[in-house]
Structure 1
Amino acid sequence: MFGFLIALIAGGVTPMLEGPVARPIAGMLSDTIELAEGELRTLAFMVAMIIAGVLCSVFSTGTPLSLAIGGMLGYFGMRLLRWGQRALENRKG
């Protein structure tokens, strides 16, 4: 469960890692690998999930499936929350 929470947080902080983490990495890779602007968010997500994997390894918690699901829910969490709110509003009205 703790591993799931770590991955959930990692997915949620992905947009915050895009500027300070993904851009410098993309800059270092620019000589060999060309990254499009839209791929920076993907790179930030990969970095976040690597960090989550390392933390789960340090704390001996989590499974690959819980990391994948937690990361996905964290990444899309705000969109899923808005979808749920709209569904409730449509149901009431």
Structure 2
Amino acid sequence: MRDLFIGLFDKLVGVFVILLCIGVLAGTAGALLAPAPNGGLLPALAVFVIGSIYAILMGGMMYLFLGVYHNTKRTAEAIEELARR
């Protein structure tokens, strides 16, 4: 059952990262098409850069947490194998 939840979380992280990227692109388009005082090329570029950094950091942290889980699981299996010998 635990593996089911970890697998679902892995898929959920992938969907979340894709949604973050789509959100950054939509925010950039919105900032680019906004009226002159609040929009334009510079605000759109700022939204794109800051949003991209945020998406990379959040996605990276979530994948890092999943990697720690998988490495811990492999280490525990390797130790159990050594204990059996």
Query: Which structure ranks higher in relative contact order (CA pairs < 8 Å, sequence separation ≥ 6)?
Result: 1
Normalised by the length of structure 1, the TM-score is: 0.36
Q: Which has the higher helix share?
A: 2
Q: Name the TM-score, length of structure 2 as normaliser.
A: 0.37
